[in-house]
Amino acid sequence: MLVLNTILREEGDTVYEGVIHCPDPACLLEYPIVDGVPLLLPDIRSYLSDNLNHLVAREDLSATIETMLGDAAGPGTLFDTSRQHLSTYAWDSYGDLDPDEKVRTGTREAPGAIVRCLDAGLELLSRNTASPAIDVGCAVGRTTFELAAKTDGLVLGVDVNFSMLKLAARVLGENRVSYPRRRIGVVYDRRDFAVSFADTERVDFWACDALALPFADDSFQFVLGLNLLDCVTSPHALLQSFGQMLPAGGQALLSTPYDWSHATTPMEAWLGGHSQRGPGAGAGESLLRSLLTPGQHPQSLENLRLTGEIDDFPWHARMHERSNVSYSVHVVAAEATGTT
């Protein structure tokens, strides 16, 4: 069991800097809390080393100085890549709440695809969402806040990207969204606006590895993982993890465009996208269905079964003012059987 060992900076009920400690004599590991985000990774030393630039990034620079740094760093750098990711994810998650955002309301090109996908997926569930709930791969946190408004208990958002979690934590602590919105090339405009979400006292954000989550079996009543399945090294292990975190009757909702990258997921672990001469002709949808139907596939999960799906839900991602990427995502609802 982990304990909060040291509080270095706190405001109200929020610990912004501190140390979480494992008191087991065989462990004695320490995990930092940075900017209100607990970092609970299995190899914490490697995570801190690999993410040092994100962990110590300044937030007190003016927009003018930030643009000068971006010009000097140029495209393809860590600085520019981080800004691009924040621009794409924050625009879709919070652009509908930005008073200065000009969008074609009601179109698939409008921000909010992630919320629309969540709402459509929740309609597939056999009963209302229960808590505690976990949003795995929460990115900048919008779906975590949306789940809190739909439940009456704890909702935890977890992700491995610290920059996105820091943005989510700021929304939680300050009721403000602040992010670099890409205009074109390395030209970004700083967006900063107030937001208000209900029941935020039941929300928290942690840095965790989706394939090594620090929770006991049956810890949650609902598990969410939107567009996460093709972003992990082992999609099958992720599905197993979802089943293990849920007690019998617990529900899961996930979506994926099957947009595989061999840099993230070894091709052998892809759900479809190869072996076109096999039984499924390379299709991911049929393979996922069989994995979530006990007994239908040699690797079918015994503790999670398919209960509903949407084959092609539209998802629109903004790259910059003249570039957009459209996806057709497979949305799947499942229920835990309690079988191990």
Residue located via tokens 């091709």: 267
pLDDT score at 13? 86
pLDDT score at 220? 97
Cα distance between residue 126 and residue 29, in whole Å:
41
Tell me the pLDDT of the chain (340 aa) as tens digits. Answer: 899 999 999 998 899 999 999 999 999 999 999 999 999 999 999 999 999 999 999 889 999 999 999 999 999 999 999 999 999 999 999 999 999 997 665 555 799 999 999 999 999 998 888 889 999 999 999 999 999 999 999 999 999 999 999 999 999 999 999 999 999 999 999 999 999 999 999 999 999 999 999 999 999 999 999 999 999 999 999 999 999 999 999 999 999 999 999 999 999 999 999 988 888 898 999 999 999 999 988 999 999 999 999 999 999 999 999 999 999 999 999 999 976 6
| CB 147 within 8 Å of CB 125 | no
- Which residue spans of the chain are classified as CATH 3.40.50.150? 47-336
Query: How are strands ordered across the β-sheet holding 323-336?
Result: 203-207, 155-159, 133-136, 222-226, 251-256, 323-336, 304-320
Cα distance between residue 218 and residue 199, in whole Å:
24
**SS3 assignment, position 282:** coil
pLDDT score at 166? 97
Tokens of 244: 């293990």
Q: Dihedral sign, CA of 133, 264, 93, 12?
A: positive
pLDDT score at 108? 58
Which of 2.102.10.10, 2.40.50.1070, 3.40.50.150, 3.30.360.10 would CATH assign to domain 47-336?
3.40.50.150
Which helix or strand (DSSP H or E) is residue 176 part of? strand 176-184
pLDDT score at 339? 67
Tokens of 329: 């995502």
**What is the pTM assigned to this prediction?**
0.95
